[in-house]
Amino acid sequence: METEFVPQWQPGIQVGDEFLGAGQVAEVRRRTFEYDGGTLAYAYKWMHDLDEAKRTVDVYERLKEAKLPVVSFVVPIAWKDTSGDTLVGISMEDMTAGGSRSIVNVRQKQVVTPNYTHDGVLAEASADPTALKHRMIRDLAVMHNNGLYDFHPGISFFLQFDHADKRNVSHVILDYSNICYREMPAGWPWNRGDFETECIDDAHKLLDGLAGNAKQYQSLLFLYRDTRRRGVLVSDVD
């Protein structure tokens, strides 16, 4: 059983445990429960150990404090596998809203939903793609200004597509276990480069998914650098 549930939930009988997506190391799944008041679900992901789970929650809290777009909760959990061994992980808000939305990494070039398909620069599907791109590149700069960077090969910025409205596109930062601090955590097992070098690498990865042409790439890169230079610490996105 989980060591801690989200306080406002009173989970009943588990009726589902399904695959949502592949993370850098572990897959993300969704557990669904039926109880007297209806149905509730949360997403969850396996962690190497409790220290990684705690660090992941701390990264999430730092992002949330900067008012960056994140899930509404992240809670450490533990459960028994089929052999009886204890596994540690994190539970979080199900951003698919029970399957009514698709969550796609910004660097992907196609989204397929039950009602539509969009190819190319995915942010272009938004009702206001320019505003969406500006928010995303500014939010990356805010994350970096708060001493956080993405150390894994990709970028932890995702687009959320409403299945009922192709133009309703928003962004969210996920994969908190793939984000690390400017200061090296004790016992950190992975090598990394200079912090600012890592930040520029993040920026280029995000721009690869956002920019439709070279002019737009340079314009967004200027916005990123200007936000870094001004030391903005809080996102201006509600």
Which residue, 35, 59, 92, sits at the end of a domain? Answer: 92
Structural domain that includes position 19: 13-92
Same domain, 109 and 211: yes
pLDDT for 133: 97
* Domain membership flag for residue 22: yes
Number of domains in the chain: 2
95 burial (CB, 10 Å; 0-12 / 13-18 / 19+) is buried
CATH of the domain at 58: 3.30.200
Same domain, 82 and 161: no
d(CA 27, CA 167): 28
Same domain, 58 and 130: no
Same domain, 127 and 219: yes
Same domain, 88 and 163: no
pLDDT for 6: 46
The pTM of the full predicted model, rounded to 2 decimals, is: 0.88
Q: pLDDT tens track of the chain, all 238 residues?
A: 344 444 444 557 778 888 877 665 567 888 888 877 777 788 888 888 888 889 999 999 999 999 999 999 998 888 777 788 888 889 899 898 888 999 999 999 999 999 999 999 999 999 999 999 999 999 999 999 999 999 877 899 999 999 999 899 999 999 898 898 888 666 665 656 788 999 999 999 999 999 999 999 999 999 999 999 999 999 985 4
Residue 113's closest CA among 123, 100, 126?
A: 100
User: Is 60:68 a contact under the CB 8 Å cutoff?
Assistant: no
Same domain, 103 and 211: yes
Which residue, 59, 92, 125, sits at the end of a domain? Answer: 92
pLDDT for 132: 97
Alpha helices in the chain (DSSP H): 50-65, 129-145, 195-210, 214-229
Which residue, 92, 127, 149, sits at the end of a domain? Answer: 92
